[in-house]
Amino acid sequence: MSLTAEQILASHKANVETLFGLTSKAFEGVEKLVELNVTASRAALNEAANHAQAVLSVKDVQELLALQANMFQPLAEKTAAYSRHLYDIAAGTGAEFGKALESKTAEAQQSFATLVDNAAKNAPAGSETAVAVMKSAVSAATNAFESVQKAVKQASDVAEANFNAVANTAAKAATPRKR
């Protein structure tokens, strides 16, 4: 089976559209990251100015120590929130790329299966064994790929659960204990 010029052109057009779509998603991720960093930097600058004003207005050492101690809990909570936002941006962008990869892989698998089926239909008499071996190999490769996709998904889920556990532990550790 040979491809026509229209089929090749359609394939290239689809690939270019996918490329530009993924590039757009990557830029959206970068925009979100820049926005997060600008917001965090602005908030940190404002808090530093407020803290400096508060330090300049303390009357004794006890008040200074209390001021410093009260600064650390919100800092830890904000750091955890920043990390969570950063993770969400990365995970969202990665998920978009994953969806595109899965879609293109499914299309490629379907095209290859169609090619094998067409080759099997046009195979010369007596080549049934070779065709069966080829179909079996395609089926095994498809199953292996699906297993890898499932394993990657499970690993991603475990990584996200671990990230959430660490973030929660860090937030709890930053919370002052009542005496």
Tens of each residue's pLDDT in the chain, 179 residues: 456 788 788 888 888 888 888 899 899 999 999 999 999 999 999 998 998 999 899 899 999 888 888 887 788 888 888 988 998 998 888 888 888 888 888 887 787 777 777 777 777 877 778 878 877 887 887 788 778 778 877 887 787 787 777 777 766 766 655 54
**Structural domain span for residue 35:** 5-119+128-174
Question: Are the CB atoms for 176 and 73 separated by under 8 Å?
Answer: yes
How far apart are alpha carbons 88 and 79 in whole angstroms?
14
Nearby residues of 149 by Cβ (< 8 Å), 6 or more positions away: 102
179 found inside a domain: no
Residue (of 5, 15, 2) closest to 103 by Cα position: 15
How far apart are alpha carbons 129 and 32 in whole angstroms?
55
* Number of domain units in the chain: 1
